[in-house]
Protein backbone atom coordinates (compact mmCIF):
# COMPACT_ATOMS: atom_id res chain seq x y z
CA UNK A 1 0.00 0.00 0.00
CA UNK A 2 1.12 3.58 -0.69
CA UNK A 3 1.84 5.77 2.31
CA UNK A 4 -0.63 8.35 1.13
CA UNK A 5 -4.18 8.17 -0.13
CA UNK A 6 -6.34 10.61 -1.98
CA UNK A 7 -9.32 11.63 0.15
CA UNK A 8 -12.31 13.04 -1.72
CA UNK A 9 -14.81 14.79 0.52
CA UNK A 10 -18.29 15.76 -0.69
CA UNK A 11 -18.98 19.39 0.21
CA UNK A 12 -22.53 20.60 0.49
CA UNK A 13 -21.77 24.25 -0.33
CA UNK A 14 -20.43 23.45 -3.78
CA UNK A 15 -22.15 20.08 -4.26
CA UNK A 16 -18.74 18.88 -5.42
CA UNK A 17 -15.72 17.00 -4.06
CA UNK A 18 -12.65 18.53 -2.44
CA UNK A 19 -9.50 16.42 -2.71
CA UNK A 20 -6.77 16.02 -0.14
CA UNK A 21 -3.61 13.92 -0.01
CA UNK A 22 -3.41 12.22 3.37
CA UNK A 23 -0.50 10.28 4.89
CA UNK A 24 -1.69 6.92 6.23
CA UNK A 25 -0.51 3.88 8.11
CA UNK A 26 -1.87 0.37 8.31
CA UNK A 27 -4.12 1.26 11.20
CA UNK A 28 -5.32 4.68 9.99
CA UNK A 29 -9.11 4.92 9.91
CA UNK A 30 -11.16 6.90 7.42
CA UNK A 31 -12.27 9.15 10.29
CA UNK A 32 -8.63 9.93 11.07
CA UNK A 33 -8.08 10.84 7.40
CA UNK A 34 -11.02 13.24 7.50
CA UNK A 35 -9.79 14.78 10.75
CA UNK A 36 -6.31 15.14 9.25
CA UNK A 37 -7.80 17.02 6.28
CA UNK A 38 -9.85 19.12 8.69
CA UNK A 39 -6.89 19.99 10.93
CA UNK A 40 -4.25 20.50 8.24
CA UNK A 41 -6.06 21.77 5.16
CA UNK A 42 -9.63 22.92 5.63
CA UNK A 43 -11.18 23.33 9.05
CA UNK A 44 -14.61 24.01 7.56
CA UNK A 45 -15.25 20.31 6.75
CA UNK A 46 -18.30 19.29 8.78
CA UNK A 47 -18.13 15.78 10.25
CA UNK A 48 -19.81 14.30 13.30
CA UNK A 49 -18.05 11.80 15.54
CA UNK A 50 -17.54 11.10 19.18
CA UNK A 51 -16.40 7.71 20.49
CA UNK A 52 -14.05 6.67 17.63
CA UNK A 53 -14.77 3.06 18.52
CA UNK A 54 -18.03 2.09 16.81
CA UNK A 55 -20.07 2.70 19.92
CA UNK A 56 -21.79 6.07 19.65
CA UNK A 57 -23.14 5.70 16.12
CA UNK A 58 -22.38 9.27 14.98
CA UNK A 59 -19.85 8.83 12.18
CA UNK A 60 -21.92 7.00 9.57
CA UNK A 61 -21.25 8.09 6.00
CA UNK A 62 -20.88 6.60 2.55
CA UNK A 63 -17.31 5.45 2.05
CA UNK A 64 -16.65 4.61 -1.58
CA UNK A 65 -20.39 4.39 -2.08
CA UNK A 66 -21.20 2.06 0.80
CA UNK A 67 -22.68 3.19 4.12
CA UNK A 68 -20.00 2.58 6.78
CA UNK A 69 -18.76 3.93 10.10
CA UNK A 70 -15.75 6.17 9.40
CA UNK A 71 -14.13 5.27 12.73
CA UNK A 72 -14.58 1.55 12.12
CA UNK A 73 -13.26 1.45 8.55
CA UNK A 74 -9.51 1.21 8.16
CA UNK A 75 -7.90 2.60 5.03
CA UNK A 76 -6.02 -0.69 4.66
CA UNK A 77 -9.35 -2.57 4.40
CA UNK A 78 -10.34 -0.54 1.37
CA UNK A 79 -8.97 -1.86 -1.85
CA UNK A 80 -8.20 1.55 -3.32
CA UNK A 81 -5.83 4.49 -3.00
CA UNK A 82 -8.74 6.86 -3.45
CA UNK A 83 -11.29 7.17 -0.70
CA UNK A 84 -14.48 9.05 -1.43
CA UNK A 85 -16.63 10.10 1.52
CA UNK A 86 -20.17 11.39 1.14
CA UNK A 87 -23.02 11.98 3.56
CA UNK A 88 -25.32 8.98 4.13
CA UNK A 89 -28.21 8.77 1.69
CA UNK A 90 -31.84 8.94 2.77
CA UNK A 91 -31.08 11.47 5.53
CA UNK A 92 -31.37 15.26 5.16
CA UNK A 93 -27.91 16.85 5.00
CA UNK A 94 -26.97 19.40 7.65
CA UNK A 95 -23.59 20.17 6.12
CA UNK A 96 -20.97 18.14 4.29
CA UNK A 97 -20.84 14.74 6.03
CA UNK A 98 -23.20 15.54 8.89
CA UNK A 99 -26.81 14.43 8.42
CA UNK A 100 -30.00 14.95 10.41
CA UNK A 101 -31.19 12.05 12.54
CA UNK A 102 -34.59 13.47 13.54
CA UNK A 103 -36.63 10.98 11.57
CA UNK A 104 -34.53 7.99 12.61
CA UNK A 105 -35.03 8.89 16.27
CA UNK A 106 -38.71 9.65 15.69
CA UNK A 107 -39.25 6.21 14.15
CA UNK A 108 -37.22 4.60 16.91
CA UNK A 109 -39.37 6.32 19.53
CA UNK A 110 -42.51 5.37 17.66
CA UNK A 111 -41.99 1.61 18.14
CA UNK A 112 -41.91 2.08 21.96
CA UNK A 113 -38.29 1.02 22.60
CA UNK A 114 -38.82 0.42 26.30
CA UNK A 115 -40.56 -2.01 28.56
CA UNK A 116 -43.42 -1.90 30.99
CA UNK A 117 -41.26 -2.91 33.91
CA UNK A 118 -43.94 -4.18 36.30
CA UNK A 119 -42.63 -7.44 37.73
CA UNK A 120 -44.86 -10.50 37.56
CA UNK A 121 -47.24 -10.97 40.50
CA UNK A 122 -45.59 -14.18 41.63
CA UNK A 123 -42.17 -12.63 42.12
CA UNK A 124 -40.45 -9.35 42.86
CA UNK A 125 -38.21 -9.59 39.86
CA UNK A 126 -38.17 -10.64 36.24
CA UNK A 127 -36.63 -14.00 35.67
CA UNK A 128 -35.12 -14.63 32.26
CA UNK A 129 -33.23 -17.70 31.12
CA UNK A 130 -30.10 -17.46 28.94
CA UNK A 131 -32.12 -18.97 26.08
CA UNK A 132 -34.72 -16.21 26.44
CA UNK A 133 -31.95 -13.62 26.48
CA UNK A 134 -30.48 -15.06 23.27
CA UNK A 135 -33.73 -14.33 21.44
CA UNK A 136 -33.23 -10.57 21.52
CA UNK A 137 -29.71 -9.69 22.71
CA UNK A 138 -28.39 -9.50 19.13
CA UNK A 139 -30.90 -6.76 18.31
CA UNK A 140 -30.03 -4.87 21.49
CA UNK A 141 -26.57 -4.23 20.00
CA UNK A 142 -27.98 -1.47 17.77
CA UNK A 143 -26.11 1.84 18.14
CA UNK A 144 -28.61 3.87 16.03
CA UNK A 145 -25.99 4.77 13.45
CA UNK A 146 -28.52 4.72 10.63
CA UNK A 147 -26.33 2.84 8.14
CA UNK A 148 -29.13 0.31 7.61
CA UNK A 149 -31.64 3.05 6.75
CA UNK A 150 -29.13 4.51 4.32
CA UNK A 151 -28.62 1.18 2.51
CA UNK A 152 -32.31 0.21 2.43
CA UNK A 153 -33.89 0.29 -1.06
CA UNK A 154 -37.33 1.08 0.36
CA UNK A 155 -35.94 4.04 2.28
CA UNK A 156 -34.41 5.23 -1.02
CA UNK A 157 -37.86 6.03 -2.37
CA UNK A 158 -40.09 6.24 0.72
CA UNK A 159 -38.84 8.28 3.65
CA UNK A 160 -42.09 7.67 5.57
CA UNK A 161 -41.06 4.01 5.86
CA UNK A 162 -40.44 3.04 9.48
CA UNK A 163 -37.07 1.68 8.36
CA UNK A 164 -34.91 -1.31 9.29
CA UNK A 165 -33.46 0.35 12.39
CA UNK A 166 -36.81 0.91 14.11
CA UNK A 167 -38.38 -2.33 12.88
CA UNK A 168 -35.46 -4.37 14.24
CA UNK A 169 -35.87 -2.53 17.54
CA UNK A 170 -39.59 -3.35 17.54
CA UNK A 171 -38.57 -7.00 17.34
CA UNK A 172 -35.96 -6.54 20.07
CA UNK A 173 -38.81 -5.76 22.50
CA UNK A 174 -41.39 -8.14 21.03
CA UNK A 175 -38.90 -11.01 21.41
CA UNK A 176 -38.19 -10.09 25.03
CA UNK A 177 -39.96 -12.49 27.39
CA UNK A 178 -40.54 -9.65 29.89
CA UNK A 179 -42.37 -7.45 27.41
CA UNK A 180 -46.06 -6.75 28.02
CA UNK A 181 -46.71 -4.29 25.20
CA UNK A 182 -46.42 -6.61 22.20
CA UNK A 183 -49.90 -5.88 20.88
CA UNK A 184 -49.52 -2.12 21.10
CA UNK A 185 -46.20 -2.26 19.30
CA UNK A 186 -47.47 -4.59 16.60
CA UNK A 187 -50.41 -2.26 15.91
CA UNK A 188 -47.95 0.59 15.34
CA UNK A 189 -45.84 -1.21 12.75
CA UNK A 190 -48.82 -2.89 11.06
CA UNK A 191 -49.07 0.03 8.66
CA UNK A 192 -48.73 0.58 4.92
CA UNK A 193 -45.42 2.39 5.57
CA UNK A 194 -44.53 -0.07 8.29
CA UNK A 195 -43.29 -3.64 8.30
CA UNK A 196 -45.05 -4.72 5.10
CA UNK A 197 -42.86 -2.36 3.07
CA UNK A 198 -39.81 -4.52 3.70
CA UNK A 199 -38.91 -6.62 0.65
CA UNK A 200 -36.09 -8.54 2.35
CA UNK A 201 -33.38 -7.13 0.08
CA UNK A 202 -31.03 -7.60 3.04
CA UNK A 203 -28.85 -4.54 2.36
CA UNK A 204 -29.42 -3.30 5.93
CA UNK A 205 -27.76 -6.43 7.28
CA UNK A 206 -24.89 -6.16 4.79
CA UNK A 207 -23.88 -2.78 6.19
CA UNK A 208 -24.74 -3.07 9.90
CA UNK A 209 -21.47 -2.64 11.83
CA UNK A 210 -22.75 -4.31 15.02
CA UNK A 211 -24.06 -7.64 13.74
CA UNK A 212 -27.66 -6.68 14.50
CA UNK A 213 -28.85 -8.23 11.24
CA UNK A 214 -31.98 -6.06 11.05
CA UNK A 215 -33.30 -8.07 8.07
CA UNK A 216 -33.47 -11.16 10.29
CA UNK A 217 -35.32 -9.25 13.01
CA UNK A 218 -37.84 -7.88 10.53
CA UNK A 219 -38.57 -11.28 8.95
CA UNK A 220 -38.88 -12.95 12.36
CA UNK A 221 -41.22 -10.18 13.44
CA UNK A 222 -43.31 -10.61 10.31
CA UNK A 223 -43.33 -14.37 10.89
CA UNK A 224 -44.52 -13.70 14.43
CA UNK A 225 -47.29 -11.40 13.15
CA UNK A 226 -48.35 -14.00 10.59
CA UNK A 227 -48.39 -16.65 13.30
CA UNK A 228 -45.55 -18.62 11.69
CA UNK A 229 -42.92 -18.28 14.40
CA UNK A 230 -42.99 -17.71 18.14
Closest CB to ligand FES among residues 143, 155: 143
- Which of the residues 38 through 57 are near other proteins (CB under 8 A)? none
Q: Is the CB of residue 171 less than 8 Å from the CB of residue 139?
A: yes
Query: 10 Å Cβ neighbour count for 213?
Result: 21
Contact of 214 with 205, CB cutoff 8 Å? yes
Q: Does 139 bind other proteins (CB under 8 A)?
A: yes
The distance of closest approach from Cβ of residue 205 to ligand SF4 in the complex, given in angstroms and rounded to an integer, is 8
Binding other proteins (rule: CB under 8 A), the pick from 6, 12, 41, 126 is 12
Interface with ligand FES, residue 147, by CB under 6 A: no
Residue list 40-59, contact with ligand FES (CB under 6 A)? 49-52, 54-59
Q: Residue 49 or residue 161: which is nearer to ligand FES going by CB?
A: 49
Give the nearer residue to ligand FES in terms of CB position, either 68 or 205. 68
Measured CA to CA, the distance from residue 59 to residue 69 in angstroms comes to 5
Q: Find the binding residues for other proteins in span 194-213 (CB under 8 A).
A: 198-203, 205-213
- Report how far apart, in Å, the C-alpha atoms of 23 and of each of 17, 155, 180, 204 are: 19, 36, 54, 32
Q: Which helix (H) or strand (E) holds 110?
A: helix 102-110
145 with 204: CB under 8 angstroms? no
**Residue selected from 198, 210, 218, 222 as contacting ligand SF4 according to rule CB under 6 A:** 210
156 CB neighbour count, 10 Å cutoff: 14
CB of 92 to other proteins, least distance (A): 5
- Taking the least distance from each CB to ligand FES, the nearer of 147 and 195 is 147
> Does 30 help bind ligand FES (rule: CB under 6 A)?
no
Q: Taking CB under 6 A as the rule, does residue 188 contact ligand FES? A: no
For residue 147, give Cα distances in angstroms to 14, 23, 128, 220: 25, 27, 31, 21
Q: Could you give the 3-state DSSP secondary structure of residue 78?
A: coil
Rounded to the nearest 10 degrees, how much is the dihedral formed by the CA atoms of 44, 45, 47, 53?
Answer: -110
In the bound state with ligand FES, the residue whose beta carbon lies nearer, of 85 and 174, is 85
| 71, 53 Cβ separation under 8 angstroms | yes
Contact positions vs ligand SF4 (CB under 6 A): 142-148, 165, 168, 208, 210, 212, 214
Contact positions vs other proteins (CB under 8 A): 12, 15, 65-66, 87-93, 99, 134-139, 141, 151, 153-157, 159, 175, 198-203, 205-213, 215-217, 219-224, 226, 228-229
Amino acid sequence: MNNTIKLRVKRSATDDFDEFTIPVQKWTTVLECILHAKHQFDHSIAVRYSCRQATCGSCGMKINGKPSLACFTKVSEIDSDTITVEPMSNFPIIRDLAVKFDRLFENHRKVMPYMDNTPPESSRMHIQSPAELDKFIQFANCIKCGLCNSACPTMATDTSFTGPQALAQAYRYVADSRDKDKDKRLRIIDDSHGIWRCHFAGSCSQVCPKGVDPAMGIQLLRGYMLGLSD
